[in-house]
Amino acid sequence: MAELLQYVANGFVGGGIYAIIAVGFVTIYNVSKVINLAQGEFLMLGGMIMVSLIGLHVPYGLAFLLAVTAVTIFGILLQKYVISYVKRATPLSLIILTIGVSILIRGFASLIWGKDAFALEPITSHEPISFGGITIAQQSVWVIAAVLVILLFLWYLMDKTMVGRKIKACSVNTKAARLMGISPGKMAGLAFAISAASGAVAGIVIAPLSVTSYDVGVLLGVKGFSAAILGGLGNPIGAVIAGFLLGLLESLGAGYISSGLKDAIAFIVLIAFLVIKPTGIFGERSVGKGGL
Amino acid sequence: MRSIVKKLGIGFIFYLLLVIIFPFLLSNEYYLSVGIVIGLHAIVTVGLCLLMGLAGQISIGQAAFWGIGAYTSAVLSTKYGLPPAIGLLASAIIPGIFAFLLARAIAGLQGYYLAMATLAFGYIVQIGLTEWESVTGGANGMISIPKLQYFGDSELSMYYLIWAVVTCVLIFSLNILKSRVGRAFRAIHKSEIAATTMGIDVRQAKLGAFVLSGMFAGISGGLYAHYMGILDPQPFGLHESIKFITMVVVGGMTSIWGALVGTVLIDSINEMLILLSEYIPGLQGDVDTIVFGAILVFIIMFMPEGLVPRCRAFYEKVKAKKRKAAGSQQAERKTVA
Amino acid sequence: MTNVLLDVKAISKNFGGVQAVSLVDFDVRKGEIVALIGPNGAGKSTVLNMISGVVPPTQGEIYFEERLMANVPGSQYAGLGITRTFQNLQTFDDMTVLENVMVGCHSRTQSGLLACGLKLGQARREEVDMHHRALQWLEIVGLSSVANTLAGNLPYGMLRLMEIARAMVSEPKLLLLDEPAAGLNHTETADMTNMLKRIRANGTAILLVEHDMDMVMNAADRIVVLDQGEKIAEGTPAQIQESPEVIAAYLGTEEVMQTRGESVG
């Protein structure tokens, strides 16, 4: 029983990160119908910039702010000068483009930081906390806190503010939104900024849990993409639930079956789900036009 | 003679000549090995071009079929002592079966969902190859896989064998392109509804494209295993799948020749980068990733149709201009007369 | 053996609560042109989509040559003898005009992946035959001069003709046309009308959805009128022009039917 609880706790931490990445995917997708496969690189950049700043003896809080800001600006520039440049974009070309961006970023990261792994100091001490038979790192608590804050913030932004309404308007009908004086380009930039910022935060808080290096973004991005697809593209709540589900699945799979197979289990479940329900667990929210 | 030229096409004859004389142009073991690797990659990318460029079905897991093919032949010939010929046959069939099952399961998926499913499949296969230690040797891989010795065991004979396969695959694919089946592939790419009303079974067409591309990748994998003699799961992952996509995209997705040109180009650049890194020791990072990333981004932004179609369009334009110029000259002469 | 080709029995279509078509029935006999008309949103295209197997009816049955079409997959319609064109063209832009029309032969040919890849005898023979038939139809619709042009480079009117050639090359028994005159000018519409008559003379029945009354009154043998998803009238062009229900349905939207020859936008 204690074992099970331990796995669930671990899965919750990992799943929270997937949830954030998945929500990043969904935010961008809803506004601009782009799947940004470079999403995982935002996390990598956040963690690596943080490591460098701490290395330069910048105070933790300030370093955090600087790292998140830098990644956010990067996200905006990426949207403005690369993604929006592609005319007559199809899913196929956007996938290829963002894969290109992703490996380009990774390549530069390997040039700047090298291929070694770096450790980042946790926000509070290394001492793990135990309660009710389970033990988790203090940093894990911070991760969960950060996940909750980000998700709450995004929910508030989308549901309670004017900006959120504008973004929603763009996702429902870009043309109508444009006619109402909303600039879809600006909203797409904003969506990239939001995803980049939340990605950077996630990247920073998870870095101390293990180590960080130039290539951590690949698998994280793929997992986040899986969660976004599993939840039904365009459905933020679905993405969050699917993110946590994926994290739990991996943790339980690693614990009870085999740690080497943990990624495979998650992907097999994903394919199985897609076979049964081709638009994810909760279905795509924006149903496509009939085509005729 | 003229009729042969006409029948094969000048481009094809040029290709054949180049393939035949390449070993004599650069007669050096190293270049020969590069030529072999290009050939192996080309078999995969021509298949991927049929799937992605013609039928419009993205696969971010093509290296998985390559890997299944490689391990199939390697295991059969190393562990069970079967002759490599049988191993190679199986390395076409087994990945074909995998492709069939995968495609059957996910034929209903489109766009991003299909991308995710193939990506996941790629991961599953790579993890499977790593974890199934009793058969695949796990992360350590396999050694002493028998070489193909049907035409002697020199590097040169391997080169010709592989390019013979490339040529067969190429002819097969070019035939498909200009056939009922190829047109069906292209039709489902543009409009599944219109294709259906023309009597095309969309699901079956997708299945066909997946199986064909999977088999091509498998054949290449089998040859790769016997050529290398050793095998580990590392090259059969996402990185290689993306490289295959890059090759197809650079050359021009809709063109089979484009896949070939893209493969030659990307592999050549790769080799140049390796040479370069020997002279510039300071470069510790993945320079090749930067270059390939930049190429992908550049192509999609500025030349989405790819090199070969772009060049072809340019050539047609020049030709049309010439014809027009000649036409107006004639017209002028007439008016003068 | 009756001479009814298509029998539509009380079909309805419900799109997520919206009743697009309700209890419509009519038939199409061999070798006749039936026009389906009605104001915008009357459900004409939906009826055509149901008959061509693109969307299944919520209720009711469709019989083609006395065969119930409910469980026939969409890709088998062409083989049975039903083909169609689309209101907003569905052309294969990156293929040549000839190749587009050759796709239309798909249902009349068999060679598979292996036969095509190896260019076996069957594939070769079929290819020659398809090529020949496609050229024949391009000749009929007057597009032989652009056979090797990419479809994407063709003007609208020519694409409409190409779609007809593509649908006709498999020699269907029933051709479904969704607004073939949309976007055409006066002369082109007249040419198109003659084309329809020629197709009928060839033995193919036509079900036509069209707004252009010129074409409808001139070409159709019978007319079925829909309004708000229901059939409100059926008869010969002369009967329809007299029908008070039809006039009522059209009045208020546009002054139509008063004079023969004016088109309804």
Which residues does B contribute to its contact with C (CB < 8 Å)?
172-173, 175-176, 178-184, 186-187, 190-191, 193-202, 208, 212, 254
Between chain B and chain C, the number of residue pairs with CB atoms below 8 A apart is 99
Backbone angles phi, psi at B28, to 5 degrees: -160, 135
Of residues A115 and A64, the one with the higher pLDDT is A64
Query: How far is the C-alpha of C260 from the C-alpha of C93, rounded, in Å?
Result: 37
Q: Do B191 and C90 touch (CB under 8 A)?
A: yes
Decide if B293 and A114 are in contact by the 8 Å CB cutoff. no
Structurally, how many domains does chain B consist of?
1
Q: Which domain covers residue B267, as residue numbers?
A: 2-305
A88 torsion bin: left (phi>0), alpha (psi -120 to 50), beta (else): left
Q: Would an 8 Å CB–CB cutoff place A92 in contact with chain C?
A: no
Instruction: Pick B259 or A292 by higher pLDDT.
Output: B259
Pairing of strands C18-29, C4-15: antiparallel
| Beta strands at A134-136 and A129-131: parallel, antiparallel or unpaired | antiparallel
pLDDT for position C257: 44
Q: How far apart are CA C192 and CA B51, in angstroms?
A: 38
Of B249, B290, B291, the CB nearest to A96: B249
Taking the C-alpha atoms of residue C133 and residue C221, their distance in angstroms, rounded to an integer, is 29
Residues 258-277, chain A, touching B (beta carbon < 8 A): 258, 260-261, 263-264, 267-268, 270-271, 274-275
**A positions 156-185 inside 8 Å of B (CB):** none
- Give exposure, A143-177, as e/b (b: 16+ Cβ within 10 Å): bbebbeebbeebeeebeeeeeeebbebbbeebeeb
Q: Which residue has the higher pLDDT, C265 or B293?
A: B293
Q: How confident is the model at residue B2 (pLDDT cuts 50, 70, 90)?
A: low
Listed residue (A124, A149, A121, A128) closest to A9, CA to CA: A128
* Domain-embedded: residue B326: no
- As a whole number of angstroms, the distance between CA A241 and CA A261 comes to 22
**Residue among C91, C116, C170 minimizing CB distance to B179:** C116
Q: What percentage of chain B reaches a pLDDT higher than 70?
A: 93
Q: Residue B335 pLDDT > 60, yes or no?
A: no
- Of residues C84, C105, C118, nearest to B197 (C-beta): C84
Q: How far is A132 from chain B (nearest CA, A)?
A: 34
Highest averaged pLDDT of the listed ranges A48-57, A230-239, A268-277, C180-189: A48-57
Helices (H) and strands (E) in chain A, counts: 11, 2
Distance of residue A127 Cα from the nearest chain B Cα, in angstroms: 34
Closest Cβ opposite residue A82 in set B245, B288, B301: B301
Q: In this complex, do A271 and B52 lie within 8 Å of one another by their Cβ atoms?
A: no
Q: Residue A69: is its pLDDT beyond 50?
A: yes
B54: which residues sit within 8 A by CB, 6+ positions away? B177, B182, B185, B186, B189, B209, B254
Q: What percentage of chain A has pLDDT greater than the value 70?
A: 96
Question: Are B184 and C103 contacting, i.e. CB atoms less than 8 angstroms apart?
Answer: yes
Beta pairing class for C59-64 and C4-15: antiparallel
From the list C77, C99, C112, the residue facing B183 with the nearest CB is: C99
Residue B47's pLDDT is 97
Instruction: Determine the Cα–Cα distance for residues C53 and B27; give it in Å rounded to an integer.
Output: 61
pLDDT of amino acid A165:
86
Average pLDDT over residues A272-277: 86
User: What distance, in Å, lies between the first and last C-alpha atoms of chain C?
Assistant: 40
- Among A90, A92, A287, A292, pick the best mutation site for testing chain C contact (most C Cβ within 10 A): A292
Tell me how close the Cα of C87 comes to any Cα of chain A, in angstroms. Answer: 8
**3 state SS for B147-168:** CCCECECCHHHHHHHHHHHHHH
Q: Number of folded domains in chain A? A: 1
Torsion of CA B290, B292, B294, B296, to 10 degrees: -150
| Chains near A (3 or more Cβ pairs under 8 Å) | B, C
Of A104, A264, A280, the CB nearest to B294: A104
Q: How far is B179 from chain A (nearest CA, A)?
A: 25
Q: Which residue does chain A place closest to C89, by CA atoms?
A: A292
pLDDT tens, position by position, A157-213: 888 888 888 888 887 787 888 888 888 888 889 999 999 999 999 999 999 988 899
Substitution target in C76, C106, C114, C125 with the highest count of B β-carbons within 10 Å is C106
Q: Which residues have CB under 8 Å from B10's CB, separation 6+?
A: none
* pTM across the whole model: 0.90
CB-based burial label for B314 (10 Å; 0-12, 13-18, 19+): exposed
* Region B316-328 average pLDDT: 81
- Provide the token pair at B285: 């990072």
CA distance B237 to B122: 6
Domain of residue A8: give its range. 2-289
Size of interface A-B (CB pairs under 8 A): 147
Using an 8 Å CB-CB cutoff, list chain C residues near B182.
116
Pairing of strands C174-178, C205-209: parallel
pLDDT at B1: 55
CB proximity A111 to B under 8 Å: yes
The answer to whether the CB of C200 falls within 8 A of the CB of C206 is yes
The pLDDT value given to residue A289: 29
CA-only gyration radius of chain A, Å: 19
Answer whether residue B321 is part of any domain.
no
What is the per-residue pLDDT for B285? 66
Geometric angle at alpha carbon B118, from B117 and B124, rounded to 5°? 90
Nearest to A95 among B115, B128, B193 (CB): B115
| Cβ-based contacts of C76 with chain B (< 8 Å) | 199
Query: What chain A residue is nearest to C54 in terms of C-alpha separation?
Result: A292
Is the CB of residue C70 less than 8 Å from the CB of residue C62?
Answer: yes
Residue pLDDT, tens place only, B153-208: 788 889 999 999 999 999 999 999 999 999 999 999 988 999 999 999 999 999 99
Cross-chain Cβ contact A270/B121 below 8 Å: no
Give helix A216-230 / helix A39-55 axis angle, nearest 10°: 140
**DSSP state letter for C181:** T
Burial class (CB in 10 A: 0-12, 13-18, 19+), C87: middle
The proportion of chain B whose per-residue pLDDT surpasses 90, expressed as a percent, equals: 60
Contacting residues of C for B200, CB less than 8 Å apart: 75, 103, 106
Cβ atoms of residues C63 and C250 within 8 Å: no
Most B CBs within 10 A among A18, A95, A246, A279, hence the mutation to make, goes to: A95
Question: Which chains have 3+ CB pairs within 8 A of C?
Answer: A, B
The better pLDDT of the pair C212, B5 is held by C212
| Chunked mean pLDDT (size 10), chain C, 265 residues | 86 87 92 91 90 92 92 92 91 93 92 89 91 94 92 90 93 94 88 92 93 90 91 89 80 48 42
Residues of A in Cβ contact (< 8 Å) with B237: none
CA angle C157, B199, C111 (to 5 degrees): 115
Quote the DSSP letter at residue A130.
E
- CA-to-CA distance for C265 and C257, rounded, in angstroms? 12
Q: Amino acid letter at C115? A: A
Name the closest residue on chain A to residue B291, using Cα atoms: A104
Whether residues A97 and B301 touch (CB distance < 8 A) is answered with yes
Q: What tokens were used for A231?
A: 């939840």
The pair of structure tokens assigned to C51 is 């008959």
Which residues in chain A have Cβ-Cβ distances shorter than 8 Å to B291?
107
Return the residue of C nearest to B208 by Cα. Answer: C113
Identify the CATH number of the domain in which residue A36 sits.
Answer: 1.10.3470
Report pLDDT for A290.
Answer: 28
Residue A5 CB contacts under 8 Å (≥ 6 apart), including other chains: A132, A133, A134
Check if the beta carbon of residue A262 is closer than 8 Å to that of residue B93. Answer: no
Q: How many CB atoms lie within 10 A of CB A254?
A: 20
Residue C45: closest CA among chain A residues belongs to which residue? A292
Question: Exposure pattern of B35-50 as b/e (b: 16+ CB <10 Å)?
Answer: bbbbbbbbbbbbbbbb
pLDDT category at B299 given cuts 50, 70, 90 is very high
Contacts of A88 in chain C (CB under 8 A): none
Domains, chain C: 1-81+172-265 (3.40.50.300), 91-170 (no CATH)
Interchain pair C116, B254: CB under 8 A: no
pLDDT, position A178? 84
Residue-level pLDDT at B275:
84
CA dist C210 → B56, B125, B211, C9, C182 (Å)? 33, 54, 43, 22, 8
CA distance C92 to B254: 13
pLDDT, average across residues B41-58: 95
A287 touches chain C (CB under 8 A): no
Nearest residue on chain B to A108, alpha-carbon basis = B290
Q: How many C-beta atoms lie closer than 10 Å to residue A180's C-beta?
A: 11
**Distance between the two ends of chain A, CA-based, in angstroms?**
56
Q: Is A287 on the interface with B (CB under 8 A)?
A: no
B120: Cβ–Cβ under 8 A, 6 or more apart, which residues? Answer: A226, A267, A268, A270, A271, B61
